[in-house]
Amino acid sequence: MLKSLPYMFKTLWRHRIRTALTVTGAAIAMFIFCFVGSVQQGLNSLSQQRESSRSLIVFQANKFCPATSHLPEDYDRQIVKLDGIREVVPIRVFTNNCRASLDVIVFYGMPPGQLRTVREMELVEGDWGDFDKYQDAAVVGQAVASRRGIVAGDKFSIGQYSVNVAGIFESENRAEENYIYTHLEYLQRKQQGSSDGTVTQFEITLEDGVDADKKAAEIDDMLRSGPVETDTRQKGSFQAKSLGDLTQLIRLSHYLGLSCVGLLLVLLATTTVMSVQDRIREHAVLKTLGFTAAGVFSLVLGETVMVGILGGGLGVLTALLVLSQTHLAIAAEAVTIAFTPTVALMVSGALMTVVGSLLAGIVPALLAAHSDIVPALREN
C-alpha cells in the first residue's frame, strides 16, 4: 500500500472539491464529538473529586439559587462540636446568574485563614499577602481571568461588587478556576450592610472514616429546632442537585457525540461509493495492468482512511486548541462545569476516526475490487 501512496494522493487531488468537502464534514463531526465529550469529562471530574465524598454542604432547606439561602452564621459553633467534624467553613456566595450560562461570575466569600486549607490552589500571579491584608481583595481563577482579561493588580467590578485582584490562581480542579474568592466579611457587608448575620452555606470537612450520610442527617436533626431549617448533603450530591436538569442534558449529549461518529461513517461511505462509481473504468484498467483484487481493495480503502484521518484529525486538533485556549465552562446555581479536553478524550476521538474510516471504506472497496473488467472497459 505504501508504494501506492503517490497514486492515492494524486487521485484525491484530482477530485479535490469532493475531497475538501468530505474532509470538512469529517472535521466538523469530530470537533462536535470532542466538544461534547469535554463537557462530559468536566461533569465526571466534578463528581470524582475526593472532597465530593469527604465534604458536606449545609444549605437552607427548599432553596436552590444561592441568592435565596440565608443561614445564621452562628450555626458553625454548633456544628463544630459534633464528633467527626474536622473543619467548618462559613461561605457567602454571589452569582450574577442562577440559570445555566456559559459566562457566569461566581464570588465565594470565605474567611481568608480557611481558604487555603480547604482549597488546593497556587497563585501564578500576585501575592497572598495582599489578599490577607485588604478585605476587598480577591484571588481570581485562571479561567475567569483568561475570559475577562483580568491580571493581578486590576480592579474587577460587576454590579455592586468591586474587588482588587490580589492574584490569579490555578488549580488541579479545573472547575475551581472559574470562581473568584474574596473575604466573607466583604460579601456580607455588600449584601447585608454589615459583616454580621447570615451566610449562604457551610462547607464541612469530615474526619477520615466518618459516614457522610449519617453525619449529614445528624446535622439537620440538630439544627431543626433553629430559626432556619437546613438541607445537608455530600458535596458531590449537592452539586448534582444544584445543576439539576443540566446534568441530565449533558449526559444525554453523549448520544449527540455518538451520532457524530455515525455521521462520519455515512459521509465517508457515501463519498467513497460515489468515487468508486465514477472510477469503474479506471479500476478495470488497473486490473488489466496487473493489479489484483486485493490491490484495488487496498487503494480504495487507503483513500477512504486518508480522507477520514485528515478530516477527523483536523477536527480533534481544532477542538483541543479551542478548548484549551478559551477556558469554556457552563454553570448553574453557582456550580461550574469546566470543559475538560483530556488526553484520553483526544485519543478516543483519533481512534474513532481511524475505526470509522476503516468501516466506511470496506464495502465500497469490496465493490471496486470485485467489479467485472470487461463490462467496465466497454463503458464510455
In a domain, 55, yes or no: no
Sort 259 into a burial class: Cβ within 10 Å, 0-12 / 13-18 / 19+. Answer: middle
In this structure, are 224 and 330 located in the same domain? Answer: no
In this structure, are 71 and 213 located in the same domain? Answer: yes
Specify the number of domains making up the chain. Answer: 2
In this structure, are 123 and 177 located in the same domain? Answer: yes
In a domain, 353, yes or no: yes
In a domain, 240, yes or no: no
In a domain, 233, yes or no: no
In a domain, 58, yes or no: no
Question: Residue 288: which domain range?
Answer: 2-46+246-378
In this structure, are 75 and 184 located in the same domain? Answer: yes
In this structure, are 202 and 301 located in the same domain? Answer: no
In a domain, 236, yes or no: no
In this structure, are 218 and 109 located in the same domain? Answer: yes
Identity of residue 216? A
In this structure, are 75 and 216 located in the same domain? Answer: yes
- 240 Cβ neighbours under 8 A, 6+ residues apart: 47, 247
In this structure, are 68 and 204 located in the same domain? Answer: yes
Q: Is 373 helix (H, G, I), strand (E, B) or coil?
A: helix
pLDDT, tens digit only, all 380 positions of the chain: 556 677 677 777 877 888 888 888 888 888 988 888 888 888 887 766 655 568 899 999 988 778 788 999 999 999 999 999 999 999 999 988 777 777 788 999 999 989 988 888 999 999 999 999 999 999 999 999 998 999 999 999 988 889 999 999 998 888 889 999 999 999 988 876 655 678 999 999 999 889 999 999 999 999 998 899 999 998 888 887 777 777 777 777 777 877 888 887 888 888 878 777 766 666 666 767 777 778 878 888 888 888 888 988 999 999 999 988 888 888 877 788 888 888 888 888 888 888 888 888 888 888 777 766 555 455 54
In a domain, 57, yes or no: no
pTM of the full structure: 0.79
Kindly state the cell numbers that stand for 294.
Answer: 486485493
In this structure, are 372 and 254 located in the same domain? Answer: yes
Q: Closest Cα partner for 110 from 89, 138, 135? A: 89
